Structure 1
Amino acid sequence: MSIHKGVALVTGASRGIGRAIALRLANDGYTIALNDVPSNLPSLTILKNEIESIKYGGQNLRALSVPADMREEEQVKAMVEKTVRDLGTLDVMVANAGLYKSAAPMVDTKSEDFDDTLAVNIRGVFLCYKYAAKQMIAQHTQRGGGAGGTIIGAASVAAKQGLAGLSAYSTSKWAVRGLTQASALELAPYGIRVNAYAPGFTVTKLVEDFAVTSKLDPRKFFADLSQDVPLKRMGAPDDIANLVSFLVSDQASYITGQSVSINGGTFFD
């Protein structure tokens, strides 16, 4: 009999925060479904092999690659269906996949960049919430009640404090907060908790790209940002993974509808 905790699906898992979350939940005992865009399948395969080398309770873990584009509803629906078909259930959805297009004043932001950012960062999160919730509601009914599952979204410090030059990104992340709160209210009767993590600047390729497009040296950019953080360091992907590990655990069973700040003290709610 399996002693694994359940099945977690992590989007945008090929690198950065998504990769750290997938590895942490695997080490916590979850079977992991790994998502990213199809072009990142080689990186997902590497991560899948790494997860399957992990033992939990003396048993090898299992992982599944489920490539999909978060902007495409039928692909997101199929991703959830394949996860359940191959792994048997869906207990945790982490809608981590995100997009950052460019740093530009609002008046210079291209409409297509604005649309692309919202398509991934909020439409994609909405679709993940929607199809994960449908599955979890069905499971809740089949099981005759009890805890129905956990859904986690990717917000940001930009979801709580608008940032100059990031109008599209800030807009998308504020929307994640609203979606998370409304979904938490709607899904509570089914024992489904919905929360989001709201990190400050974290050492990832996404933030490095922000520095590059802003014509800044990434190393100096990271060093300068660290000086503005009370804890005097940038966030690491593992910091966010640790928070997600807590939010999906029974220890967080009374927490729902929250976008939890994790930023070293740079912003207080």
Structure 2
Amino acid sequence: MSRFEGKVAIVTGAAQGIGAAIARRLANEGAKVGVVDLTADRAQGTVDQIVKDGGEAFAVGADVSKTADVQAAVAAVVEEFGRIDILVNNAGITRDNLLFKMSDEDWDSVIAVNLRSAFLMSRECQKHFVAQKYGKIVSLSSRSALGNRGQANYSASKAGIMGLTSTLAIELGPFGVNVNAVAPGYIATDMTDATARRVGFEPEKFREAAAQMTPVRRVGTPEDIAAAVAFLAADESSFISGQTIQVNGGADR
């Protein structure tokens, strides 16, 4: 498939898990991908896999919660590939705790990485999108945006992504830019495995329990999310904007 032939994408938080799967999917369908993570060394593994599979990618190190790093990262991708067409805001962390135990740092760091980064990256990339009258922004929200015990910071950040998505769709739509979000349910990743351990479960048992509460009777994979992101980043979804698509196997929570 070559839906993204001639297109350039940036994927943040792409060293592993969902971000790496998204970067690989876009590259497999023809995009040149700027693989962004906290350091270029962290991102290089994803780049190496893309190149091995016959694609083109470039590793970029950046703290995407910082304006100067974001500006430098976007400039580096433009210098390497000549343009930007697709932005995927995937970078995210958790610092779970109940409210009375949650520190200022726990709150600030999650909001910075999960929400502020999406604002900064979108603001920087829109300069290119508006000038060329074309662009796709897809951000990662979560089912946790509806509330989840021990995740006041994470839930707030992911609810913020929904609001940011709706607003940017209104502002950027007249310039040929589609803005959408994907809200994963339970996805088998290192992050969800860490959550399982935090609440006293072995990851495999936690996955089994999650699968039983999901109508399709399995947990999601990073590739499930990558498929949804690829659809929203493609021209076939050009009349979809301002939406948050739930990708959770039919779960109601």
RMSD of aligned Cα (Å): 1.3
CA drift of 1:5 comes to 3.0
Match of 2:100 in 1: 107
Amino acid at match of 2:43: L
Match of 1:58 in 2: none
Q: Residue 183 in 1 paired to residue 168 in 2? A: yes
- Aligned AA for 1:52? V
Question: Structure 2 matches for 1:71-150, cutoff 5 A?
Answer: 71-102=65-96, 104-140=97-133, 148-150=134-136
User: How does 1:1-269 map onto structure 2 within 5 Å?
Assistant: 4-38=5-39, 41-55=40-54, 61-102=55-96, 104-140=97-133, 148-159=134-145, 161-267=146-252
The aligned amino acid for 1:106 is: L
- Structure 1: how far apart are the matches of 2:159 and 2:6? 32
Confirm or deny: 8 A CA contact 2:16 2:46 kept in the other structure. no
Specify every segment of 5 or more residues in structure 1 that has no aligned partner in the other structure, as ranges: 56-60, 141-147
CA distance in structure 2 between the aligned counterparts of 1:42 and 1:121, rounded to whole angstroms: 21
Superposition deviation, residue 43 in structure 1: 4.0
Instruction: Tell me the distance in 1 between the aligned counterparts of 2:6 and 2:80.
Output: 16
How many residues end up aligned between the 2 structures?
A: 250
Cα distance between partner residues in 1 of 2:144 and 2:49? 32
Listed as ranges, the gaps of 5+ residues in structure 2 are: none
Separation of aligned partners in 2, 1:72 and 1:220? 38
How far 1:112 sits from its partner (Å)? 1.2
Amino acid at match of 1:31: K
Max Rg structure = 1
Shift of residue 215 of structure 1? 2.5
Between the aligned partners of 1:108 and 1:88, the Cα distance in structure 2 is: 47
Asked if structure 2 preserves the Cα contact closer than 8 Å seen for 1:157 and 1:267, the reply is no
TM-score normalized by the length of structure 1: 0.90
